[in-house]
């Protein structure tokens, strides 16, 4: 299962988010069921980031989202948002 989350930050917090993600990326990748993780930054809007992750299934993603680690991280970044985050889940159908 592929999960893409769009995160829009106030300009003053873009670097804060980059640093926090760098600090926590290994912990995210170590969660059971997480097989891949990337961070993208929007080409035109530097305060907009996307997390791209691959999970074995929705159960593992839900366990991560309910974890104390996720709740703690979310509490840190929530005040930094300029817009409500948007999340999308998808299944890969083919590679062309």
pTM of the predicted structure, to 2 decimals? 0.92
Q: Are the C-beta atoms of 35 and 3 separated by less than 8 Å?
A: no
Cβ neighbours, 10 Å, residue 9: 21
pLDDT digits (tens, 9 = 90+) for 32-60: 999 999 999 999 999 999 999 999 999 99
Cβ neighbours, 10 Å, residue 61: 20
List of domains in the chain: 2-90 (3.30.70.100)
- CA 49-34-94 angle, to 5 degrees, is 80
- CA-based R_g, the chain, Å: 13
CA–CA gap between residue 26 and residue 12 (Å, rounded):
25
**Residue 34 token pair:** 């997480």
Which SS3 state, helix, strand or coil, does residue 27 take? helix
Q: Is 70 left (phi over 0), alpha (psi -120 to 50) or beta?
A: alpha
Which SS3 state, helix, strand or coil, does residue 93 take? coil
96 pLDDT above the threshold of 90: no
Res 80: pLDDT: 98
């Amino acid at each position: 299962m592929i999960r893409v989350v769009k995160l829009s930050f106030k300009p003053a917090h873009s670097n804060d988010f980059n640093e926090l993600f760098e600090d926590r990326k290994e912990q995210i990748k170590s969660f059971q069921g997480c097989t891949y993780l990337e961070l993208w930054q929007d080409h035109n809007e530097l305060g907009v980031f996307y997390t791209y992750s691959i999970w074995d299934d929705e159960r593992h993603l839900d366990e991560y989202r309910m974890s104390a680690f996720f709740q703690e991280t979310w509490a840190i970044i929530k005040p930094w948002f300029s817009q409500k985050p948007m999340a999308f889940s998808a299944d890969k159908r083919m590679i062309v």
